């Protein structure tokens, strides 16, 4: 059985886990803006790890298609400090 396909456009949570850095949020926001345009701050939740070495940010974005997700994922994976993209 084939997994269910996502129907676009759809609101989709994108989680980024990265090493904590003073400019991390600004760098990640800039990447998301380049793919989605300006967005409201309440579309992002941020949680620090127990010892604050890592940060998990979840962006709730309206994704237009699979290509948009693929290019965003590639850019995030290439970003310094990013450990995981879900």
Average pLDDT, the chain: 95
Q: Within 13 Å of residue 60, how many CA atoms lie on the same side as its CB?
A: 8
| 21 closest CA partner among 59, 60, 51, 52 | 52
In this predicted structure, what is the pLDDT of residue 5?
79
Would the pLDDT of 4 be above 90?
no
pTM of the model: 0.91
51 vs 26: CA distance, rounded Å? 21
Q: Report residue 6's pLDDT band, with 50, 70 and 90 as the boundaries.
A: confident
Q: Which option is the CATH number for 10-85: 3.30.420.40, 3.30.70.260, 3.30.1280.10, 3.40.920.10?
A: 3.30.70.260
Query: What tens digit of pLDDT does each residue of 34-64 get?
Result: 999 999 999 999 999 999 999 999 999 999 9
Model confidence at 22: pLDDT above 80: yes
Domains in the chain: boundaries: 10-85
> Judging by beta carbons within 10 Å of its beta carbon (0-12, 13-18, 19+), is residue 32 exposed, middle or buried?
buried
């Amino acid at each position: 059985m084939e997994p269910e396909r996502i129907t676009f456009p759809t609101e989709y949570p994108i989680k980024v886990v990265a090493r904590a850095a003073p400019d991390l949020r600004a760098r990640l926001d800039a990447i998301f803006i380049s793919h989605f345009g300006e967005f409201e701050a309440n579309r992002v939740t941020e949680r620090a790890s127990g010892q604050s070495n890592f940060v998990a940010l979840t962006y709730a974005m309206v994704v237009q298609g699979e290509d948009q997700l693929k290019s965003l994922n590639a850019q995030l994976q290439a970003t310094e400090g990013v450990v995981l993209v879900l």
